[in-house]
Amino acid sequence: MNALRSAAAAPLLDPLALRADFPILQPGASPGPELVFLDNGASTQRPRQVLDAMTRVYEHSYANVHRGIHRLSEECTELYEQARGRVQRFVNAAEREEIIFTRGTTESLNLVARSWGEVNLRPGDEILLTLLEHHANIVPWQQAAARTGAVIRWVPLTDDGRLDLAKFSELLGPRTRLVAVAAISNVLGTVNPLVEIARQTHAAGALLAVDAAQSVPHMLTDVQELGADFLACSGHKMLGPTGIGVLYARRALLEAMPPFLGGGSMIRRVTLEGFEPAELPSKFEAGTPPIVEAIGLGAAIEYLERVGLAAIHAHELRLTQEAHALLGQIEGLRILGPAPEHKGGIVSFVVDGLHPHDAAQLLDRDGIAVRAGHHCAMPLHQHLGIPASTRASFYLYNTLDEVARLAASIAAARARFKRR
């Protein structure tokens, strides 16, 4: 995986020790059976360190940033920019100014589709997408194609839910302007070979946009080694708060792109005749930014770095292997996607005679939180010939015992519906 690095000999992670940092995971924190939270692909829980960091800002340092010359504004600005620096180091961006704060992965990808797309796409130009994509990496490009006359091409999958690289190579051509791909599928868990995809994309003269919402929280990411031109991720999927996300883009691209939103902060000068945009990163951060959320994201990154991304990835692999082993023993259950060694900590499945919504509801009665539905990936589910699936997604605080509880609860639900 190279730029999405994992260590085969990663140190063992102790999830029970880490759980003490998460108030919502403590016994009695929520009514009913002890919580087994397996909906991390949608949003993760937050450790006390993140909650405390945000509370400290509100109680001691809060003010608007970049605008005031009083003490609170200067203190809050410093904390806000420290968070940007943490993100820069976390993904190994070459410069701090290449990190743009947004509200999340969705806004980041929309920013690229609007700002870069409308300037660079022409009728007949081609955008390559894959059948694995989340709607956030489909709809903005469909909108861009409708506005510009560009054409979307789709990269198919192999039978086991991996990208068909031979077809990808065939689809790349002289009209390809951009390849947009998820680092990890939010449904199948498939880990895509981004280094090879980047190599072929750049050889064809195109740019690469990466939806890294499911990868940045789980394994080491190096945007320079990867060769990503754009990369987007969300704070709430990596122990941080909602309402904060990141767009990484190479400086040369950001310099050439027009501002996405207009208003305060993103300007250097405004006259009756027009405006001059500010320098990076302010150029793309119009209005009052998500100040405390960005600081919370910085605290989440500090927490993840202390635990170790290699250890997190290795732990999730063990959980995924156990889930495949136990769920695979249940009659009528089919796991979607590739084998554990080709996927992240996501296990989606369907059960004969048991609708995914019914499965999720029955699991919830046992205190197990999973996701049911199309997971914002309707084209993928249509390709698979199913309307919905049940998804269990793991993180650093999940345990092997929780995987066993998941399997036992699904087996019981299957038996109950089979008797009907």
Write out the catalytic residue numbers.
376
Taking a C-beta distance cutoff of 8 angstroms, is the pair 344, 316 a contact?
Answer: yes
Q: How far is CA 287 from the centre of its chain?
A: 24
What are the Cα distances from residue 246, in Å, to 223, 232, 237?
13, 6, 12
Rounded to the nearest 10 degrees, the angle between the axes of helix 400-418 and helix 309-327 is 30
Buried b (16+ CB within 10 A) or exposed e, 245-257: bbbbbbeebbeeb
Q: Would residue 263 be called left, alpha or beta, if left means φ above 0 and alpha means ψ between -120 and 50 degrees? A: left
* CA atoms within 13 A of residue 165's CA, in its CB half-sphere: 10
Who's near 306: CB < 8 A, 6+ residues apart? Answer: none
* The dihedral sign for the CA sequence 158, 164, 170, 175: positive
Spell out a b/e string for 277-303, using b for 16 or more CB atoms within 10 Å of the CB, else e: bbebbbbbbbeebbbbbbbbbbbbbbb
> Could you tell me whether strands 389-393 and 371-373 are parallel, antiparallel, or unpaired per DSSP bridges?
antiparallel
| Beta carbons of 350 and 334 less than 8 angstroms apart | yes
Element (H, E) at 247: strand 245-249
